[in-house]
């Protein structure tokens, strides 16, 4: 087999890159180690920046998003028993759209299929070869056979645990990491959301987030200890703890019910530099991870593949390598700003084990300043709705 761009990983980064390249007339094949249902079974992000919506519009994969997505103009911060709304649209003129990553992925998968583009699912032992030269290749196993694919470029869109970043010589890579001393226990339920907008709660028992997927499906998160096991959390225990961390109004009105999914995700900040190695480009979680507090993970994957697809279009149509040579610098510029925002939101809203009284007073002052200052609210808003590409 031969293709112009071999994409490793069929998550949102790989799928959106594939659609953008197809739109630019660039042939691409996705090699994914799992199958479609497994990928759709993962419950992850929920908030899309306006830029991400724009890219889905560009590739013609936003009809269901505009039909079912919830356009939000603000978020609420809750602390000290009160809720404080931040009107992000008033501050920035922009909005965010609540539309689950699962649905984005489903829409992209369906569009890829309809366009007759090739995705090799259940591709085992994908290996990346000769990407330091001009004729990279990948190898993979399927149905007991080993297959080889010649290509011009490899896009490593295979997430944090993927093979792409691990295929780079360690000396060629610099990583920056912060692992947080807690995780998020998430619950999905077919219950009406407790509020029309997201509520980020700072509470002495720990952080809690009230989100949603539709007017009938809610998504809640509780900060939990790193060694927590999801088996230890019955639905009743989850709802009882969530109520204890909410403001009185939310605690009194929340509608609880059966969980349809429960999982624990660790929180980390991670960046691998650079994001380009000869003919191999990293994009999305393969290159960086943010704590989900800022709702940036999926959206960074989108901006990465925007930069990468436009660079590859320039290479093929204008025979210019300027874009691909500048990809890493350009992508990392936006990545680090999102890393900063996600770290700041996480530091401001979570209870850090062993924190001293001074640090908790600083956290309270951060929150108090934020709700009293239009400049601070504007700063949060412009980062949350998404900085320019």
Residues that bind ligand FAS (CB under 6 A): 8-14, 31-34, 39, 44-46, 101, 123, 126, 157-159, 161-163, 265, 284-285, 292, 295-298, 301
**Minimal distance, residue 359 CB to ligand FAS, in Å:** 25
CA distance 376 to 384: 12
Instruction: Give the residue from 363, 42, 383 showing the smallest Cα distance to 207.
Output: 363
**Minimal distance, residue 320 CB to ligand FAS, in Å:** 27
Q: Is 139 exposed, middle or buried (0-12, 13-18, 19+ CB in 10 A)?
A: middle
Element (H, E) at 384: helix 374-385
How many CB atoms are closer than 10 A to CB 148? Answer: 12
Is 147 in a helix, a strand, or coil? Answer: strand
Cβ closer to ligand FAS: 129 or 364?
Answer: 129
**Minimal distance, residue 94 CB to ligand PHB, in Å:** 16
Alpha-helical (H) ranges within 205-355 are 235-245, 248-253, 297-318, 322-349
The reply on whether position 211 binds ligand PHB by CB under 6 A is: yes
**292 annotated active-site:** yes
* One of 295, 301, 380, 385 touching ligand PHB (CB under 6 A): 295
The reply on whether position 292 binds ligand PHB by CB under 6 A is: yes
293 binds, among ligand PHB, ligand FAS, none (CB under 5 to 8 A by kind): ligand PHB
The reply on whether position 293 binds ligand PHB by CB under 6 A is: yes
How many residues are listed for the chain in this entry?
Answer: 389
219 binds, among ligand FAS, ligand PHB, none (CB under 5 to 8 A by kind): ligand PHB
**384 annotated active-site:** yes
The reply on whether position 272 binds ligand PHB by CB under 6 A is: no
Q: Which of 22, 296, 350, 377 is catalytic?
A: 296
CA distance 214 to 136: 44
206 binds, among ligand PHB, ligand FAS, none (CB under 5 to 8 A by kind): none
Is 333 in a helix, a strand, or coil? Answer: helix
Contact indicator for 164, 272 with CB cutoff of 8 Å:
no
**Minimal distance, residue 45 CB to ligand PHB, in Å:** 6
**170 annotated active-site:** no
Q: Which of 99, 180, 200, 221 is catalytic?
A: 200
Instruction: Give the residue from 124, 123, 129 showing the smallest Cα distance to 280.
Output: 129
Contact indicator for 267, 180 with CB cutoff of 8 Å:
yes
Contact indicator for 75, 88 with CB cutoff of 8 Å:
yes
CA distances from 320 to 155, 311, 312, 313, 324 (A): 18, 9, 9, 9, 8
**Minimal distance, residue 77 CB to ligand PHB, in Å:** 12
**Minimal distance, residue 18 CB to ligand PHB, in Å:** 24
**Interface map 38-57 toward ligand PHB (x if CB under 6 A):** -------xxx----------
Cβ closer to ligand FAS: 62 or 164?
Answer: 164
Q: Which residues are the active-site residues?
A: 72, 200, 292, 296, 384
Which residues of the chain form contacts with ligand PHB (CB under 6 A)? 45-47, 198, 211, 219, 292-293, 295
């Amino acid at each position: 087999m031969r293709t112009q761009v071999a994409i490793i990983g069929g998550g949102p980064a790989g799928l959106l890159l594939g659609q953008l390249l197809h739109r630019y007339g660039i042939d691409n094949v996705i090699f994914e180690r799992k199958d479609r249902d497994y990928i759709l079974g993962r419950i992850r992000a929920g908030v899309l920046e306006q830029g991400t919506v724009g890219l889905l519009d560009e590739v013609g994969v936003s009809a269901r998003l505009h039909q079912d997505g919830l356009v939000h103009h603000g978020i609420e911060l809750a602390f000290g028993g009160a809720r404080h709304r931040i009107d992000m649209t008033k501050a920035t003129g922009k909005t965010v759209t609540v539309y689950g990553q699962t649905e984005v992925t489903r829409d992209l998968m369906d569009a890829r299929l309809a366009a007759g583009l090739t995705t090799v699912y259940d591709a085992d032992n994908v290996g990346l070869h000769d990407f330091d030269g001009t004729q990279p290749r990948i190898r993979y196993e399927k149905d007991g056979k080993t297959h080889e694919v010649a290509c011009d470029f490899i896009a490593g869109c295979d997430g944090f645990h993927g093979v792409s970043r691990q295929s780079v010589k360690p000396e060629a890579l610099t990583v920056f990491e912060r692992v947080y001393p807690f995780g998020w226990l998430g619950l999905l339920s077919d219950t009406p959301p407790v509020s029309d907008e997201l509520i980020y709660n700072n509470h002495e028992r720990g952080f809690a987030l009230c989100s949603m997927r539709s007017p009938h499906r809610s998504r809640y998160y509780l900060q939990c200890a790193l060694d927590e096991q999801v088996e230890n959390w019955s639905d009743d225990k989850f709802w009882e703890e969530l109520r204890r961390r909410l403001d009185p109004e939310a605690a009194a009105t929340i509608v609880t019910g059966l969980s349809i999914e429960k999982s624990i995700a660790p929180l980390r900040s991670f960046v691998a530099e650079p994001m380009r190695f000869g003919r191999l480009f990293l994009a999305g979680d393969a290159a960086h991870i943010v704590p989900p507090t800022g709702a940036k993970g999926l959206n960074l994957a989108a901006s990465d593949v925007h930069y990468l697809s436009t660079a590859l279009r320039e290479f093929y149509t204008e025979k210019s390598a300027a874009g691909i040579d500048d990809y890493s610098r350009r992508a990392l510029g936006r990545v680090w700003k999102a890393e900063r925002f996600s770290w700041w939101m996480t530091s401001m809203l979570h209870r850090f084990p062993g924190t001293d009284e001074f640090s908790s007073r600083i956290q309270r002052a951060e929150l108090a300043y934020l709700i009293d200052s239009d400049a601070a609210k504007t700063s949060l808003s412009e980062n949350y709705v998404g900085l320019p590409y």
